[in-house]
Structure 1
């Protein structure tokens, strides 16, 4: 397997684990998740009744897209956008843009402090970006002849 393909698969696997874990954690304790969303700053609190189901669904869609070669690039792009949004949100919390807001992430991520959460998000943002870059480069080199290995001369050994 080509090095870029390995990078894409490792990044995709890490993101699949992240999205499935966070989505299922949110759905498993949907009342707590809904309560946390309702205490977020506007417009999140207003959209809480919709976001309580849309966020886990989008996370599961991203995970599913990452599982298949035909949709992996789109899954990496969606993961990048999701992680960028979540990372900006956490960065605003770290700098104190809002007074006191609960973390509405699923599972053990709720227990992280805002700074630790920022580092966690930055890791997965970079993971998504690296996977996307490797996927794009891998596809580009396949369309341009791959490794550009010399073909056997005509009439040569089979």
Structure 2
């Protein structure tokens, strides 16, 4: 059972690094991020909210993952973020949007849509694995 707990912790560390990097990249390149959010196939009002909500939510997920008491909330927050991003990237990759702007920060901005989709799904799979292992670990400790 310890191995499953370690796997959940390792994935949590990877997610902390991912969310921290993604949020900080967006904030450091904020003018670029704001322009790219304006090019998204969403209403401008939503874009104005998301330019602050996305990095804030990513940082919140990273902070939640830092502490044992909030790790499960962080794993669920990561699951929802990764699911939303994967759906968006998938819809873009398969041509459902006429606009193809990437508001990602850092190296993620340079990934093609296919690579981005594979990356997101792989991280989402790791996130789901960590959630399952975390829940099993908690069940062992509470029984």
Is the pair's TM-score, using the shorter chain for normalization, greater than 0.5? Answer: yes
CA RMSD of superposed structures (Å) = 1.1
- Counterpart-to-counterpart distance in 1, 2:26 and 2:45: 18
Question: So what's the TM-score if we normalise by structure 1?
Answer: 0.87
Indicate the residue corresponding to 2:3 in structure 1. 3
State the number of aligned residues: 143
- Counterpart-to-counterpart distance in 2, 1:127 and 1:46: 33
- 1:46 Cα shift? 2.8
Question: So what's the TM-score if we normalise by structure 2?
Answer: 0.96
- Counterpart-to-counterpart distance in 1, 2:110 and 2:14: 20
- 1:136 Cα shift? 0.6
Q: Which runs of 4+ in 1 moved over 4 A?
A: none
- Counterpart-to-counterpart distance in 2, 1:67 and 1:127: 17
- Counterpart-to-counterpart distance in 1, 2:61 and 2:6: 19
Q: Per chain length, whose mean CA-contact separation is higher, i.e. which structure has more relative contact order (CA < 8 Å, sep 6+)? A: 2
Indicate the residue corresponding to 1:109 in structure 2. 108
Task: Determine which structure has more spread, i.e. the larger CA radius of gyration.
Answer: 1
Indicate the residue corresponding to 1:67 in structure 2. 66
* Partners of 2:7 and 2:133 within 8 A in 1: yes
- 1:47 Cα shift? 1.5
- Counterpart-to-counterpart distance in 2, 1:2 and 1:70: 18
- Counterpart-to-counterpart distance in 1, 2:45 and 2:102: 16
Unmatched tracts of structure 1, length 5 or more: 145-158
* Partners of 2:8 and 2:131 within 8 A in 1: yes
- 1:100 Cα shift? 3.2
Bigger helix fraction: 2
Deviations 1:12-48 (A, max 9, x none): 01100000000000000111001000110123x4312
Deviations 1:26-75 (A, max 9, x none): 000111001000110123x4312221111101000000000000000000
* Partners of 1:38 and 1:46 within 8 A in 2: no
Indicate the residue corresponding to 1:48 in structure 2. 47
Mapping for residues 1-158 of structure 1, pairs under 5 Å: 2-43=2-43, 45-144=44-143
